[in-house]
Amino acid sequence: MKGFLAYITLFLISILVRAFIFSLGVHFSGDVWIFQHWGIQMFEEGISNIYYSGTFIDYAPAYMYVLWLIAAVRDAMGWYALSNELNMITFLPAVISDIVTTLFLYGISRRIFTESGAFGKPFLIALTYSLNPSVIINSSSWGQVDAIHTMLLAFAIYALYRKQGLHVYLLYGLAIMVKPHSLMVAPIFLYSAFHYFKNKNYDPKAAFTMVSFALITFAFMAAITLPFTQDFNLISWWYQYSQNLGTRPFMSINAFNFHLLMGGNWHHITPFANFVTITFVSGVTIYTFWMLHQRWSRSSLFFCAAMLNIITFNFAVQMHERYLFPAILFLIIAAMFWHKENPQDKRVFILYAGFTITFFINCLEILLYVNGNSLFKANPLPHGVFRPVNQWMALISFVSVALAIYTLKIGWGITKWKKTEA
């Protein structure tokens, strides 16, 4: 009964806070409008035409089904684009994902911290995530959908530790089909196949199982895509889709990271930027393999997921400001397991707090900027590119990069944790 009361309280607080933030009307109208436009176009012209219509679409098919459904409701109700009613249901899938993730986090906390009260530590940890400004701004103010694929990734990674069943890889495949940026954590799932094979004493049947899971997952992803193809031609669809993925060849796209710190915001990618990307992404992939090989646990799984996201965001090219979003959830889950094993060690909580601040400031600045305002007024560079860099943006970028390096340092100690999984 106490747990039920906590779940209901978390649900009510989460939905009321998000309704209030939505009502303020500070939205990224460009993103919201394009979601609605895609949905209306699919509803009126058919989903098999959308990727071939010449319309810019850089989202994968899974979320397009949601937009089609939203457009169907809009048609039935007679709402116009960017109306409050249509905006509300456009925001709703991400808001629901926020709330489900909060309740999921509470469920994990209850298993880790066995407190008897309804509003003890598990409740407070879940509430911390629900009221995290960097989480709220994404779904309830901006109107973006990063909460959806983040939720799916958390489900998949949590399940991965206990049982590497087909459902884990199907969840991951679905996350990719919602947002391809889920590929940032691909090394975890790649290593998991080897881990399974190793635990089965390198039995060929285990290898066959993993290959079967991979093929079924690819078939599942293809099945999601097929309705969007013409003549069931996946190659033609991929050609059309991939054309849009390369239309923003910039070092940083408003992401406060290493490349923005180097003055690369909305500047074309240089050979040095590519070198930095390849070096850090390949390096953190190898580092992740090593860490998971040393210690396979939920602690290391979620920390590695956060680390992969953090390093990619800070050092890879073509990063938007919102691409750090999954790391916030992964860090708080990793911090809970870390705290259970090492109660005196607060370093992962420090990372969680640090990236919450840098991510929120990054998103808030861009959201205000597109609405004709700004946090940072001091000495902008001459207007030659979209959103010129100033010293305050550079400072936040420096802090983010420093925290990223600190993340790598903390990761070195993961293999020394005591193994006391919840």
| 158 assigned to some structural domain | no
Domain that holds residue 307: 248-422
| 333 assigned to some structural domain | yes
Residue 263: name the closest of 129, 361, 384, 357 by CA. Answer: 384
Tell me the pLDDT tens digit for each residue of 175-225.
Answer: 999 999 999 999 999 999 999 999 888 999 999 999 999 999 999 999 999
| 129 assigned to some structural domain | no
Residue 254 DSSP SS3: strand
This model's pTM is above 0.75: yes
Tokens 């309704």, residue located? 19
| 161 assigned to some structural domain | no
| 212 assigned to some structural domain | no
| 409 assigned to some structural domain | yes
- The predicted pLDDT at position 2 comes to 67
- The predicted pLDDT at position 128 comes to 95
- The predicted pLDDT at position 326 comes to 98
Contact 179, 63 (CB under 8 A): yes
- The predicted pLDDT at position 1 comes to 65
Residue 197: name the closest of 293, 286, 285, 113 by CA. Answer: 293
Contact 155, 161 (CB under 8 A): no
Contact 246, 239 (CB under 8 A): no
Q: Using CB atoms within 10 A of its CB, is residue 405 exposed (0-12), middle (13-18) or buried (19+)?
A: exposed
- The predicted pLDDT at position 116 comes to 63
Integer-rounded Cα Rg, in Å, for the chain is 21
pLDDT-flagged residues of the chain (< 50): 378-385, 420-422
| 16 assigned to some structural domain | no
| 164 assigned to some structural domain | no
Residue 104: name the closest of 150, 166, 161, 143 by CA. Answer: 150
Query: Please, what's the largest Cα pairwise distance for the chain?
Result: 64
Number of domains in the chain: 1
- The predicted pLDDT at position 244 comes to 78
- The predicted pLDDT at position 388 comes to 66
